[in-house]
Amino acid sequence: MTGHLVAVERTALLTAALRAAETAREDRLYEDPYAARLAGEEGMQLLMQIREASHPKSADADTGTDRDLPSTPDYNAIRTRFLDDFLRRAAQDPAMRQIVLAPAGLDSRAHRLDWPSHIRYFEVDRPAVLAHKEERLKDVEPRVDLRTIAVDLTAPDWEQELIAAGYDPEQPSTWLLEGLLYYLTGDDTHRILDRVAALMDPGSRIAADLVNEAALTSPDMRGLLDVFAGWDCPWLFGTDEPEALFAAHGFTVEATQPGEPAADHGRWPDPVPDRSVTGVRRVFFVHGRRS
């Protein structure tokens, strides 16, 4: 038996439910055969809440119009595919030795993708999430040398647990901060980027996703923001300058928005306004290297 998932931990169930829904589509962007069992009934219920918030049955009481919420399923499908491709490319680099998912959530890339045999693969997340995953996947062998680190990333000293699990800061690594920065305060974001940078050999790779400031305040985001706040994991952090944020912590990155050619797959339903346009909600896939 696993413990009950609380607050931000439940977003791992939601994300698994999104992957299960994507896997069931004929035009799916990827296939995750383990997502449904990882999400379970609770994950499907969380996804229903997101769908209801995104497609309100009645017109918006304040504006008299339907809300124009971003499509969480399309976003999540593109994000998973974009980051699958990022990780595959990184792993094909013969020098690459280590992959770190921080946080891993209920992602099953260790079990559903092929990895070179020399890769050490680290999954970091809060203990209850990793215990849930272990229980649901107990009959499935990972396809990689998988090591788990059950910690909160805002706690002191998780670096020592990562190193004790076999991570070597002097070897090339690839870090994925997927679905994390939304839920951190600005201070915690800065601290965690510093801590991650300190663990990375120069030239090592990083990817992350994050929203901009308007996504935290714009009226057309309200329905979605209310759902996350109601689950006790409000979205707290966003920036319009993701390249500068990462540069301040020792990274050289590009920011790609879903809907741009490199991250579209015919699935992003909204226009992508030029970066010079201010005040519109945005989401970014940041990808680059430790300087």
What are the residues binding ligand SAM (CB under 6 A)?
Answer: 8-9, 11-12, 15, 103-107, 125-126, 129, 152-154, 178-180, 183
Nearest Cα neighbor of 30 from 109, 142, 117, 125 is 109
Nearest Cα neighbor of 40 from 13, 67, 22, 21 is 13
Q: Closest separation between CB of residue 152 and ligand SAM, Å? A: 4
Indicate the residue among 105 and 259 with the shorter CB distance to ligand SAM.
105
Strands 98-101 and 173-177: parallel
Q: Which residues pair with 155 in a beta bridge?
A: none
What are the structure tokens assigned to 266, written together? Answer: 């015919």
Q: Closest separation between CB of residue 175 and ligand SAM, Å? A: 12
Indicate the residue among 66 and 135 with the shorter CB distance to ligand SAM.
135
Residues 6+ apart with CB under 8 A from 85: none
Q: Closest separation between CB of residue 3 and ligand SAM, Å? A: 12
Indicate the residue among 63 and 154 with the shorter CB distance to ligand SAM.
154
Indicate the residue among 179 and 223 with the shorter CB distance to ligand SAM.
179
Phi/psi region, residue 184 (left: phi>0; alpha: psi -120 to 50; beta: rest), is beta
Indicate the residue among 74 and 107 with the shorter CB distance to ligand SAM.
107
Q: Closest separation between CB of residue 188 and ligand SAM, Å? A: 7
Strands 120-125 and 205-211: unpaired
Q: Closest separation between CB of residue 77 and ligand SAM, Å? A: 12
Cβ(97)–Cβ(204) below 8 Å: no
What are the structure tokens assigned to 140, written together? Answer: 């499935």
Q: Closest separation between CB of residue 105 and ligand SAM, Å? A: 2
Cβ(269)–Cβ(71) below 8 Å: yes
Indicate the residue among 140 and 280 with the shorter CB distance to ligand SAM.
140
The distance between the two most distant Cα atoms of the chain, rounded to a whole number of Å, is 58
